[in-house]
Chain A
Amino acid sequence: MIETCSLAAYTAGFFIALCWPRPFLSTLCIGIGTAINFAVVLDRYNGAWPMMPMHFGIAGLSVVLSFIWICNYGTINRQNGLRQQPESPILLGIIVLVVAATVFFPKDFYVPFLRSNVIWSHVFLLAGIVAKSFLVHGGVKAFAALQGTQKKPKIAALFNSATNWIVYGYGLLTVSLFSGELWCYLGWGTPVVWHDAALTTVLSLWLYWTCFLHLLFIRSWSQKQRSRFVVAGAVLVLFFACHPDMGPFRLPFQGQG
C-alpha cells in the first residue's frame, strides 16, 4: 500500500503549507508525494497495457493536479509565500482529498476489458484526466478570486487566468469526448452508447463548460457570478471525476495476497 505513503507526504505538505512558514519543506513533501503517486499510477497503467486500466481517472487526476501545483505554486511559494497565492492551499487540499479517496475507496479490482485495446480509449482517458484537472484548477482560481481579501486588479487577473485554464480544459475535454465517440464507434458500432455512464458524465461536463463559454458573452452576468459558476462547475467536475471511480470504504494494508 505504497499509496498510503504518498497520502502521508501530501498531507504533511498540506499542513506545513498551511501552518508553518516553510515553503521549501512543503514543496519537498508534495514533490515526494507526487513522485510516489506518479510511480504507482504509472505502474498501474503499465500493468494494464495495452488495455486501459479500469477506474483509473481518480488516480490520474491526483497526479496531474499535483504536477499543476508543483509547476504553478511550488517555486512561487518559495519566493512569495502563501499570502500571494491563496489558491495554492485550496488546490493542495483538493489533492489530499482526491488521494485519500484513491487510498480509502479503491475501485481498482476490475480486470481490464479487451475492447479497450485501442489507442482511442487511452486518448479518451488521458485527455479526460488532464482536462478535468485543468477545469478543477480553473475553479480553484475562480474561488480565490471570490475571496474578499483580494484587490480588484488581482481579482480580474485571477479570473482571466481561470478562464484560460478552462478554455484549454474545455479543448481537451472535447478531444476526450470525441476520442470516446470514435472508440465507441470502432468497438460498438455507434458513436454514442447511452448505457455507459462514462460518456454521460463527460457529455454533462462538456455542456456545462460550453455554457460557461457562452456566459462570457452575456453582459448581465458579473465577474463574481461567473466566478461562482466556475466554482460550481469545478465541484461538478470533481464529483464526476471521483464518484464513478470510488469503491466502498477499505482500510489500507489489508487483504494482501
Chain B
Amino acid sequence: MPIQLVVRTYQFFCSIKLTVTLLLLLVADLSLGYICLQGKVSLFQPMNEVGLSQWLLTYARSQPLDSAWFLLLLPLLSLLGINTLCCTGEKLYHLVRSQHTRLPANRLWLTLSIHLMHLAMVLLLAGYLTSYTLSTIYPSITLTPGLPLTVPGSSLQVELLEMQMIPYSRNRLIPFLGRNIDVNAHLLFKDGKEQVHATLAMNRPVHIHGFSFFLQRFNPTRAGGMSPSQYIIFDIRRDPGVLPTFIAMGAFLTGLFGYLFFRHRTRKRLEL
C-alpha cells in the first residue's frame, strides 16, 4: 500500500499538466502580488534582514491579507520544484535507458539542453530557499574613518581607511551637479595577524572569510553639503544560497542557448 501511494504520488508529480496548472497559478499569484505590493514596500523589505522564517512569524502574521500572495507563492514554488525534478528525472531515465541511440545528434542535444534548463530551475529554487532561510544578516552597519569595528560573531575586524568620492562628471542631470554618485571605500580587514585591503563601492561588494559586505549608503553626498561627516553604511551577509543560485543561472543560460541553437538547426533540418 505505501509503495502504491509513493508510485501514485510520483506519477502525479510527473504530469506536464500539473506543470501548466502550477505555472498558471504562479502567474495569477504574482500578478496579485504586484497589486498587493503597491505602497507596501515596508512589509516585505524586512524579509531581507530577518530571514524568511522570522518574517513569516512576525510581519506576515501581523498583515496576513497583504502577504497572502507570498504565503501562497511558497508552496506553489515548492510544488513546481518537485514537479520539475520528477518530470526531468523520468525523461532523463528513459533517455538513458532506451532512446539515446535512436535520436539524431541535434535532437539529442536539444533534449539535453531542455533538461539542463529544468535541472537548473530546481537548483535555482533551492538556492532562493537557502538564501532566505539559512543566511546570516547584519544590516545597516555604519563605519567612520578611524573607528574600526568587529564583525558580529567573528574575530574579523574592519576599518575604514579612506573614502575616495566619485563625483557626477556630466552636466545633464541638474540635481546631480556637484553630487557624489559613488565612493571607493578603502577597507582594512584584520583577523589575528592576517591583514587584507579591499575596496567597497556601490554594486561592488567585498567578500572575505565567508562574509560579504554590500554598500548601502555613504556620506557626504556632495562637497560642501549640509552634512559633512564621512561614513559608509553597509550590510554584512553570510549567504550559502548565492553560489547554487548563480551556478543555476549559468546552467539555465547554457541550456537556453543550447535550446535556441539546436531548435533552430532541428527546424532547418525538418524544413529541408
Interface residues of A, Cβ cutoff 8 Å to B: 46-51, 111-112, 114-115, 117-118, 120, 167-168, 171, 174-175, 178, 181-183, 185-195, 197, 200-201, 203-204, 207-208, 210-211, 214-215, 217-218, 236, 240
Contacts and interface: CB of A to CB of B under 8 A. Distances in A.
A174 B124 CA distance: 13
Given A190-B48, A207-B26, A171 B260 contact: yes
8 contacts: A111-B175, A118-B203, A167-B260, A178-B252, A190-B135, A193-B45, A194-B44, A197-B38
B16 A191 contact: no
A207 to B, nearest CB: 5
Interface residues of B, number: 55
Contacts of A168: 260
Contacts of B257: 171
B33 interface: yes
Given A192-B131, A214-B23, 9 more contacts: A49-B170, A49-B172, A111-B176, A171-B257, A187-B203, A190-B48, A201-B30, A203-B30, A207-B27
Nearest to A121: B203
Contact of A167 (B181, B204, B263): B263
B205 interface: yes
B147 to A, nearest CB: 23
Most chain A beta carbons < 10 A, residue from B17, B135, B235, B249: B249
B214 interface: yes
B143 to A, nearest CB: 16
Contact of B202 (A115, A189, A218): A115
Given A47-B173, A188-B214, A204-B30, A174 B47 contact: no
B173 A211 contact: no
B31 interface: yes
Given A118-B203, A203-B30, A211-B23, A189 B214 contact: yes
Interface in B19-41: 19-20, 23-24, 26-27, 30-31, 33-34, 37-38, 40-41
A237 B48 CA distance: 28
Nearest to B46: A195
Contacts of B17: 218
B248 to A, nearest CB: 10
Contacts of A200: 30, 33-34, 37
B16 to A, nearest CB: 6
Interface of B: 16-17, 19-20, 23-24, 26-27, 30-31, 33-34, 37-38, 40-41, 43-45, 47-48, 70, 127-128, 131-132, 135, 137, 170, 172-173, 175-176, 181-182, 202-205, 212, 214, 235, 237, 239, 241-242, 245-246, 249, 252-253, 256-257, 260, 263
Nearest to A170: B256
Contacts of B40: 195
A218 B20 contact: yes
A215 to B, nearest CB: 6
Given A47-B173, A211-B27, A117 B252 contact: no
A189 B212 contact: yes
B172 A187 contact: no
A112 B137 CA distance: 27
Contact of A111 (B173, B203, B235, B242): B173
Nearest to B24: A211
A47 B202 contact: no
B252 A174 contact: yes
Nearest to B135: A190
A141 to B, nearest CB: 17
A51 B175 CA distance: 13
A187 B200 CA distance: 12
B128 A192 contact: yes
A114 B235 CA distance: 17
Contacts of B239: 189-190
A117 B182 contact: yes
Nearest to B139: A189
Contacts of A120: 203
Contacts of A118: 202-203
Contacts of B246: 182, 185, 191
Contact of A187 (B27, B41, B202): B202
A191 B34 contact: no
Most buried by B among A111, A204, A215: A204
Contacts of A240: 34
Contacts of A187: 202-203, 214
